Structure 1
Amino acid sequence: MKNWFTQFQAPLMKFGEKLSRNKTLQILRDAFMLAFPLTIFGSITLIIANFPFLAQIIGESAAASLNAMLGPASTATMSIATVFTVLGIGYYFSCDRKVDPIFGAAIALAAFVLVTPMETVFELETGGSVVVGNVLDINRLGAKGMFVGMIGAFLASWLYSWTTKKNWTIKMPDTVPPAVSKSFSALIPACLTLSVFLLIRIIFQFTPWGNIHDFIYEIVQAPLTSLGSSLGATLLAIFAIQGLWFFGLHGQIIVNSVLDPIWNALTLENLTAFQAGTELPNIVTKQFIEIFTVGIGGSGMTLAVVLTLAFLCKSRTMKQVGRLALPAGCFNVNEPVIFGLPIVLNPTIVVPWIIAPIINVCIVYFSMAARLVPLTTGVTVPWTTPIVLSGMLATNSWQGGVIQLVELAVVFVCWFPFLKALDRQTVADYAEEESDDELFAEA
């Protein structure tokens, strides 16, 4: 068994370390985090405006007025998440290449807007439609434009950094104020970069798609989001997370850095539908992954494990690990139990560590597919939010909290026999050590 683990561990750790050190994935992860405080604000206002039974509590008229007053907050934050992602990529890419990050972010945003259609189709109440020009469709600043934004931001940032590194810049005398000097230094790189994007816009006007947004959405984003929203892909992601963690690598960060673009696009689609009052399209979203996996005590859903260690184990060591890990575990931070039990490289508990999350993901997925539990609304709920509350907020229903309790029970059932066996072994080992110490003292 140990030889098999050793052979499997080396290539997996090497692969995981390469992914975690990949600059592109690191930049993308940091860019998504840029929008976090903004989306939290938008989520809070959206939750208040759509609080369950609000119309019955304060009346339909008052609820509609409250919704109208708070609505712009979520639109200005969550609905234009691609804008923040573009800014983040431009900023962090430029930081990595040691060029001025503010101009990198501004140029990336300008490049994205430049290839975005500046017209939208407006449906008339009397029937028919009319094309309105000189406007940006907010959907293209959110879910529908996510992949264009990411690809375009990386390209724009690379062009800006490359031309700057080539010293294709205007140098100003030292007496010129720094702000003016930096502006002139960015002039040529900005013009060259935006010229490339203008050319891209012109070229796509002569294609069947008419613009790069519809091309990327049809050829890249739609197939990827369709694949990423499937149960099979989700279970594969969960298996990878658990496997990486077992070998001591932060599986959540590694896998999320690859799949976050897909999960975030699915989330924004649900948010758009929720705000419009239409049927939510996606079961698997970023909130599905976070609230119904990480939200049950951290990666591996270990809250039930911590409770079992703290209150049902006889071994003093295991009890201490459980009680020390419990406060953090209530807020879904489980490094104390992962490295304290330990779970890392512990073949005794590898089976429940991998199987329990997979079973729970299937339970939640099919419960949502059968509409026993509402789908996640796209509202951003911090992953540190305690169990039950997080489920209710993510689905805007009490069923979301109940299904988390079902998950907690499933984890307990899966883990209990293995923990009891480990507990008995630990007690026996401790008794044997004490016996050896007594014999040594008598001698």
Structure 2
Amino acid sequence: MNNWVNEKLLPPVMKFVGSRPIKALRDGMLYTMPFIIVGSIFLILAQFPEPHVASWMKSTGLTPYWNVAYNATFSVMAFVAVIGIAYSWVKAEGFTPLPAGILAGISFLLVMQPITPVTVGGKVVATAKQMVHSSYIDRNWMGGQGMVTAIIVGMVTGLIYTWFMKKDIRIKLPEQVPENVSASFTALIPAAVLITGWLIVYIIFDKLIGNSMTAFIYGLIQLPLQGLTDSFGGTLVLALLIPFLWFFGVHGSVIVGGILGPLLTANALAN
């Protein structure tokens, strides 16, 4: 069995884990960790488990401020992840990664539509449908619900941006131009192509499905996958798979976490 696992099973698994998309996914998700930890602290403060302390903070007006910090960190993890994934992909290919990360974030915002109505004092002043095609950004998609879309957008953006760089399809300025100015023009052509491409995707989903790409992926892919990792059977498989891989000298946590980590993060955000 040891020979079979090491000779037949592990080589394709390691090849898959070492592939560019999985490495970009694993490395890109690591950028979310500091904000998850800091956001968790503010979440605890906002929902403090000791009633007297919670009442005191509420009476002093501090609780809403804890929620502001939580919403700006923990609940925008998908947005951080999409930037991190594209950034990691392009960086590993040896190109300047920041423009790709910013471009992935813009693309992620481009393909979503609001699902939450606008309320003031508990009263609905505009439905989600009325806010479609407006400048309203629904923060529901910025957290766990948009995680799978963030992965797809980040990977596709990183892949296409790298292709442009490898083919040297870019605007080149004279050497006398400052490097930061030159770098911004380097990203101009891939940015134009990618933003146009994601806009076409948005239009297709809006016209043919009547919803956004983000909502479609969430319902078709993310919810079932989250359900699998959230069930007793799924948890049991995860718990056994990690030590099983370690038994054969393979870092089980890296392999399983790199693939399923984003789904577990989405579950944690939901909790």
Q: Does 2:22 correspond to 1:22?
A: no
Give the aligned partner of residue 62 of structure 1.
Answer: 57
In 2, are the aligned partners of 1:25 and 1:257 still within 8 Å (CA)?
Answer: yes
**Alpha-carbon displacement from aligned partner over 1:53-83 (angstroms, at most 9, x marks no partner):** 2x32x46253353322211111111000011
Bigger Cα Rg: 1
Shift, 1:109, TM fit: 0.8
In 1, are the aligned partners of 2:2 and 2:248 still within 8 Å (CA)?
Answer: no
TM superposition score normalised by structure 1: 0.56
One-letter amino acid matched to 1:88: G
In 2, are the aligned partners of 1:34 and 1:84 still within 8 Å (CA)?
Answer: yes
Matches within 5 A, 1:97-116: 97-116=93-112
Q: Does 2:44 correspond to 1:10?
A: no
Give the aligned partner of residue 230 of structure 2.
Answer: 229
**Change over 3 Å in CA distance of 1:231–1:88 after alignment to 2:** same
**Change over 3 Å in CA distance of 1:125–1:177 after alignment to 2:** closer
**Alpha-carbon displacement from aligned partner over 1:254-312 (angstroms, at most 9, x marks no partner):** 11111112111111112xxxxxxxxxxxxxxxxxxxxxxxxxxxxxxxxxxxxxxxxxx
CA–CA separation in structure 2 for the residues paired with 1:26 and 1:167? 24
In 2, are the aligned partners of 1:119 and 1:134 still within 8 Å (CA)?
Answer: no
Matches within 5 A, 1:395-434: none
One-letter amino acid matched to 1:51: F
The number of residues matched between the two structures is 265
In 2, are the aligned partners of 1:120 and 1:135 still within 8 Å (CA)?
Answer: no
In 2, are the aligned partners of 1:170 and 1:188 still within 8 Å (CA)?
Answer: yes
Pairing partner for 2:31 from 17, 31, 34: 34
One-letter amino acid matched to 2:57: A
Q: Which has the higher contact order (CA 8 A, sep 6+)?
A: 2
Give the aligned partner of residue 389 of structure 1.
Answer: none
Give the aligned partner of residue 79 of structure 1.
Answer: 75
- Residue aligned with 2:126, SS: strand
What is the alpha-carbon root mean square deviation over aligned residues? Answer: 2.1
In 1, are the aligned partners of 2:83 and 2:104 still within 8 Å (CA)?
Answer: yes
In 1, are the aligned partners of 2:85 and 2:155 still within 8 Å (CA)?
Answer: yes
Q: Does 2:92 correspond to 1:93?
A: no
Identity across the alignment (%): 32
Shift, 1:105, TM fit: 0.5
In 2, are the aligned partners of 1:119 and 1:135 still within 8 Å (CA)?
Answer: no
CA–CA separation in structure 2 for the residues paired with 1:118 and 1:176? 42
One-letter amino acid matched to 1:266: N
**Alpha-carbon displacement from aligned partner over 1:34-54 (angstroms, at most 9, x marks no partner):** 01112211112222332322x
Q: Does 2:174 correspond to 1:167?
A: no
One-letter amino acid matched to 2:15: K
- Residue aligned with 2:7, SS: helix
Q: Does 2:261 correspond to 1:264?
A: no
**Change over 3 Å in CA distance of 1:30–1:126 after alignment to 2:** closer
CA–CA separation in structure 1 for the residues paired with 2:44 and 2:182? 46
Give the aligned partner of residue 213 of structure 1.
Answer: 214
Gaps of 5+ in 1: 271-443
**Change over 3 Å in CA distance of 1:10–1:125 after alignment to 2:** same
